[in-house]
Amino acid sequence: MTWLTSHPLSFLVFAPALLGFVILALPHALGRLSRMLGFMGALAFFALSLAWLLGHGGAVVTERAAWFTLVGLPVDYALTVDGLNLWLVLLTTFLVPLTMLGTWNSLKDRIGTFAALFLMLETGMLGALMAQDLFFFYLFWEAMLIPMYFMIGVWGGDERRYAANKFFLYTLGGSLLWLVALLYLANKAGGFNPTLMGQAASALPFGVQCWLFIAFAVAFAIKVPLFPLHTWLPDAHVQAPTAGSVILAGVLLKLGGYGFIRFAIPMFPQAAMHYAKPLALLSVIAIVYGALVAMVQRDIKKLVAYSSVSHMGFVMLGLASFTVIGTQGAMLQMLNHGVSTGALFLLVGMIYDRAHTRMIADFGGVVTKMPVFTTFFLIVTLSSIGLPLTNGFVGEFWILNGTFLSGFHWGRLYACLATSGVLLGAVYMLWMFKRVFWGPENKDEDSGTHHLHSDLNAREIAVLLPLVVLIVWMGVHPKTFVAASEAPVTALLQDAKAPAPRTFVLRPAVHEAPAHAQPAPEGHAEPAAHEVHR
């Protein structure tokens, strides 16, 4: 027990994989027991993470020790939970058991192996989120691919092999080039400590810094995924089994954005600032393009996948704005997207398990068959659109606000363009919703609607309820989820010497005007006010 209290993070990171190996060793016939064991374990890890991490009130928890030194470069075993990753860690530990429960009966064969891989994936994700040494981070970042590869490849749809290979190679390609950059910088810094590497980077010529930043950015942007590096995502999402899609959208994509805010931006502030405009431009393209492509999809899951491209575009736009409110919005939007899109994929999985089709045209009038399901779907849809009082609104509003106010000259234009993405989001989601749920019941014998015999059962409602609670909670009182990251984000932008945001005043008089001149988001005016004073 004493080891546990002094190494909570190590336990959280590695216990899932250990449990996974135990489950993997169980005989094939014990699949149901394995699944139960995996779920109980994941639930326990969630409970422990809540107790340990929230117990500290968001204070920094660190474990650091020298691990090994190879070819002259020391590698640290360093895990940290601080304001930047606290909620992402909790989101991960939360989504894993929830997804297991939500897809309880979706898979028919090799359920024990799936549970084992899922737990190993949890280790990879938690390790990548917590690692504070870039080599250590790289190990988790790459190792994460292995379970996901098998999850897509073994339990996926018809094109699963293509999708799994594409996912694996795409991500590997980005991170291998990044590895070269990492080695180059580690060579200058004499180690993989991000702080030392950042210092070494600042001593390099600006051109070199830019190249290094690009290598970092490409590796992370593939994961986000940022236009035009997003092409693996629709394939992977559509082919992956429901649980895989939920985790892919819920956590794996976040790691890209998290990589930017944790490593790429703090280590190369000047280069990041230099490339803020292209990054923001690509984000705006992703927002609008993702929304437009989502609009014409015939497969609900593919539509949700493209909506992910659009929503993650917002995250990148918020980061590229280099304002506190925009970055905080990006942090929140990452959580939002994890909850809302995760819920959407779960819902799509639930209807797919019943109807064995995901084509929009196969449905119609679902509301008459499944009223409870429709209610949940509507709430999640509205959250995804960004209706006020739901989480989507707050995140997108802050991001657009931050972009509009940012010190960059392009801020206002891009904010306006990105706002059209919100509008388009409402169009594709509501249009899809209308075609699937409203209207006359699809009487065709082969249609999906015809095969819907039962509404949600208690298990499924138990899965969706916490998500809906979170959606509302994050929409009404987002401070719970962003308070921890405010200080680190502010410090980060200060260190980066981000251009001061513009202030808009109604009167030319300067004194004490800004505080109320700025539109403050509902329930959380502090970051905005803080921003203006800086």
Give contact residues for another protein (rule: CB under 8 A): 24, 28, 68-73, 110, 138-139, 142-143, 145-146, 149-150, 153-154, 160-161, 164-165, 168-169, 172-173, 176-177, 179-180, 183-184, 186-187
| Tokens (6 digits) for 255 | 């790691």
Nearer of residues 27 and 508 to another protein, judged by Cβ: 27
Q: Which of 354, 362, 247 is nearest to 300 (CA)?
A: 362
Closest distance between another protein and the C-beta of residue 173, in Å? 5
Rounded to whole angstroms, the Cα distance separating 382 from 429 reads 8
Closest distance between another protein and the C-beta of residue 477, in Å? 40
Nearer of residues 164 and 532 to another protein, judged by Cβ: 164
Nearer of residues 94 and 155 to another protein, judged by Cβ: 155
Rounded to whole angstroms, the Cα distance separating 34 from 115 reads 7
* CB 358, CB 301: distance < 8 Å: yes
Helix runs in 50-85, H state only = 55
Nearer of residues 39 and 136 to another protein, judged by Cβ: 136
Closest distance between another protein and the C-beta of residue 428, in Å? 33
Closest distance between another protein and the C-beta of residue 161, in Å? 5
| Tokens (6 digits) for 346 | 């779960």
Nearer of residues 17 and 422 to another protein, judged by Cβ: 17
Residues 6+ apart with CB under 8 A from 40: none
Distance of CA 433 to the CA centre of its chain: 24
- Which residue is it, tokens 């609607």? 449
* CB 20, CB 64: distance < 8 Å: no
Closest distance between another protein and the C-beta of residue 149, in Å? 8
Closest distance between another protein and the C-beta of residue 317, in Å? 30
Nearer of residues 52 and 184 to another protein, judged by Cβ: 184
Distance of CA 495 to the CA centre of its chain: 25
Closest distance between another protein and the C-beta of residue 203, in Å? 17
Give the Å distances, CA to CA, from 88 to 129, 251, 299, 461, 484.
Answer: 8, 8, 29, 24, 12
Nearer of residues 142 and 526 to another protein, judged by Cβ: 142
Amino acid (1-letter code) at residue 70: L
Rounded to whole angstroms, the Cα distance separating 38 from 275 reads 44
* CB 325, CB 406: distance < 8 Å: no
Nearer of residues 187 and 494 to another protein, judged by Cβ: 187
DSSP string, 313-327: HHHHHHHHHTSHHHH
Closest distance between another protein and the C-beta of residue 154, in Å? 6
